[in-house]
Structure 1
Amino acid sequence: MDVEDKYLFFEGSEKKAEIVVKGQQFSLLDDIADDFWTELVQCCNAQILSSIRNDDCKAFLLSESSLFVWRDRLLILTCGNTRLVHSVEFFIQKIGMDKIQQVIYQRKNEYFSHAQPSSFGDDIKLLGQYVSGKAYRFGELDSHHNYIFHQDNSFQADKLDKTYELLAYQISQRASEKLTTKGLKAEEIRQFLQLDELFSDFALDDFVFDPFGYSVNGIRGKEYFTIHVTPQASSSYVSIESNINLIKLASNFLVILAPQSFDLLSFNEFDFARLTDEFIPKSYVSKSLVNEHLSNNYSVCFANYILPQQAFTQATALDLAGENHAL
């Protein structure tokens, strides 16, 4: 989550892949050595910083986001200028498609997409060499949106297999200043984000980046959460993902971060409309609502919320001598 001091810029928006394997044949958790995961992560130009484990899950904290491994699946998120699809390709080549049940690849809109080494189209073209699938865009092209590619085969997800993402943009000045405080410790950030209260009994592994930025993984049995913070005002972004219900926790995070906008994405949350109506503050207005039932039996809901502005603000002055991507 490192940032160049000169430009105070970092692309926090993440790419994400989930791969489900045929768990009756082997266990990703028990039969794969850590050297394999080190090599997989290096394929997308990231490194493993640390890890924690329980009987059901191993969580790796990365230089760019996180990797989680269960017996029958893995989940990896990477940010910055990583090319996550190369790690997916590595996994497919080493493990073999005959042992894989489902590949899902996800990528959201970036602040500075032209600074990325590839586009979503480039990535799925590469994946298409190994996997036949379908691709969708959730959200409007000129606003917040999320691309999802999934393998199109006989795999059918369990309806209880749920995932939630809360992606917050343009956090408040108060939150940004707090999270960019020089010398800030991990314990102080955990307290600011109220992690002990919101995720009680989770084992935590976190890291504070230099000059700023924060990542944390939490596991409790098969449950997990991960949070990644890019706090600089020029491109502030906080991503939260979990298989526990983040919609019920959304109001807590919205009070803490007070973002100008945020996205919610869920897999197999069939009460999405009722829950968002109950737990999302009425001060936020939905700008985009999308629902799609995928052929792999995941029901995906996407919502983009904005905080309507009631007063004029000043224009942002640009550094004409700086790099184009930092304008």
Structure 2
Amino acid sequence: MFFEGSEKKAEILIDGEQLSLLNDIDDEFWSALVNRSQAQILSSIENEYCKAFLLSESSLFVWSDRILILTCGETQLVKAVEFFIQKFGTKAIKQLTYQRKNEYFSNAQPSCFGDDIKLINQYLPGKAYRFGEMDSHHNYVFHLDNDFTADTDDITYELLAYQISEQASKHLTQPNLSAEEIRQFLCIDSILPGFILDDFVFSPYGYSLNAINEQQYLTIHVTPQMDSSYISFESNVDLLSLAPKLLEILAPKSFDLMSFNEQAFEQKLAALIPIQYVSKSRVCKKLDNGYLVNFANYILPQTTFAEPIMIDISGENHAL
């Protein structure tokens, strides 16, 4: 069974003096926004600072002055972004960042990054970049082009693991696996002490988790199938420091690390990434909106290689 775990991601910051997204907007609006991307809200948790919605395809986080939404599969996140802009208007939006990364089967997607940016540009002008090599792992980033400057303490991280070990894949695709068993396997209690958790196990495979603690958040999305395994971590908790433990558990054949405003990115990579992984891509760019963006791709050199696999040509085209 194939599922495109790779996420699309949007962060929208608003003028908090005009309204509070957390206190002035009801859940019906957030449900409608998520539906525009062809996803649904499954559950939610909240504290004084944040409300976190677990989605049928990834997550939505809402703070007073911003939202962060990730969707995977064949969703159209850009439609949710357009819905937000139409609701609040362009003048209320201080900054917008939109990301898409390389997909396993991009031909199955209803749009590409270029299509999405054309739609956003009908409302807001911006600039776009590609981080990473075109023929390898890469991540596209679009941001609104205005006089906004990001706070230096607005720091976030992404860790994206591909082709996890056979042992990890077999464990995460066991029949009737519970959320508690997955949390134990990923060592969630030690990684996220004191966090409020909300998670869901999909059928037949897949797992999502949202976690919040005051203004901190972390979301995990697991696509464990061997032919397209992918596990993502997105957080304002320092994922570089957690990387050694997560890589030990998952043992992926490759992984990406991306950060916004982490000043010590290169030094932390040198100190924390296991020596068996080889750096394939390393990019750093200070964007005009003030964010320092770092991207790195690592691979585990292979000594054995997969045999040819027979393909079911009677199936859907994107399975080829």
In the alignment, residue 27 of structure 1 is paired with which amino acid?
A: S
Quick one: which amino acid aligns to residue 50 of structure 1? S
The equivalent position to 2:46 in structure 1, one of 43, 53, 62, is 53
Matched, 1:12 2:5: yes
Partners in 2 of 1:183 and 1:100 — Cα distance? 44
In the TM superposition, residue 26 of structure 1 has moved relative to its aligned partner by 1.2
**Amino acid paired to 1:10:** F
Q: Which of the numbers 264, 284, 290 marks the counterpart of 2:283?
A: 290
> What letter corresponds to residue 278 of structure 2 in structure 1?
V
Structure 1 residue 114 displacement after superposition: 0.2
Structure 2 distance, partners of 1:132, 1:80, is 27
Equivalent residue number for residue 77 of structure 1: 70
1:143 aligns with 2:136: yes
Determine if the alignment matches structure 1 residue 281 to structure 2 residue 274. yes
Match of 2:307 among 295, 307, 314: 314
Deviation, structure 1 residue 63: 0.3
Deviation per residue, 1:171-223 (Å, 9 max, x gap): 11111111110000000000000000011100000000011100000000000
User: What is the CA distance between 1:312 and its match in structure 2?
Assistant: 3.8
What secondary structure sits across from 1:94 in the alignment? Answer: helix
- The alignment status of 1:233 with 2:226, answered yes or no, reads yes
The residue that corresponds to 1:38 in the other structure is 31
Instruction: Give, as a single letter, the amino acid of the residue that structure 1 aligns with 2:268.
Output: L
Find 1:198's aligned residue among 191, 216, 233: 191
For 1:272 and 1:325, the matched residues in 2 are separated by 36
Partner of 1:173: 166
Q: Deviations over 1:214-273 (max 9, x none)?
A: 000000000000000000111000000100100000011101111000000000001000
1:63 to 49, 56, 59: 56
Q: How big is the shift at 1:316?
A: 2.9
SS at structure 1 position matched to 2:22? helix
Distance 2:22 2:110 in 1: 31
Which of 151, 160, 175 is the aligned partner of 1:158? 151
Partner residue of 2:19? Answer: 26
Q: Which consecutive segments of 4 or more residues in structure 1 shift more than 3 A?
A: none
Write the letter of the residue equivalent to 2:235. S
User: Cα distance, 1:280 vs. partner?
Assistant: 0.5
TM-score normalised by L of structure 1: 0.97
One-letter amino acid of the counterpart of residue 195, structure 1? I
Q: Which residue of 1 aligns with 2:239?
A: 246
Corresponding residue number in structure 1 for 2:113? 120
Q: Distance in 2 between matches of 1:39 and 1:320?
A: 38
Do structure 1's residue 304 and structure 2's residue 297 form an aligned pair?
Answer: yes
**Structure-2 separation of matches of 1:245 and 1:285:** 21
Correspondence 1:186 to 2:187 = no
Query: The residue matched to 1:154 in structure 2 has which SS?
Result: coil
What is the deviation of 1:311?
2.9
Total equivalences in the alignment:
320
Q: Does 1:214 align with 2:202?
A: no
Name the CA distance, whole Å, in 1 between partners of 2:103 and 2:23: 35
Post-superposition offset of 1:34: 0.5
Name the aligned partner's letter for residue 11 of structure 2: E
- 1:4 match: none
Distance of 1:98 and 1:273 partners within structure 2: 37
How far, CA to CA, are the matches of 1:132 and 1:239 in structure 2?
Answer: 29
1:319 positional shift: 2.2
TM-fit CA distance, 1:161? 0.2
1:268 aligns with 261
Instruction: State the distance in 2 between where 1:304 and 1:68 align.
Output: 26
**Cα offset, 1:315, TM superposition:** 2.7
Structure 1 distance, partners of 2:247, 2:167, is: 13
Unaligned runs of 5+ in 1: 1-7
State the match for 2:104 in structure 1. Answer: 111
Paired residue for 1:92, among 80, 85, 98?
85
Residues 63-82 of structure 1 deviation map (CA, whole Å, 9 limit, x = unaligned) = 00000000110000000000
Return the alpha-carbon distance in structure 1 between the equivalents of residues 130 and 176 of structure 2.
40
- The AA in structure 2 aligned to 1:269 is E
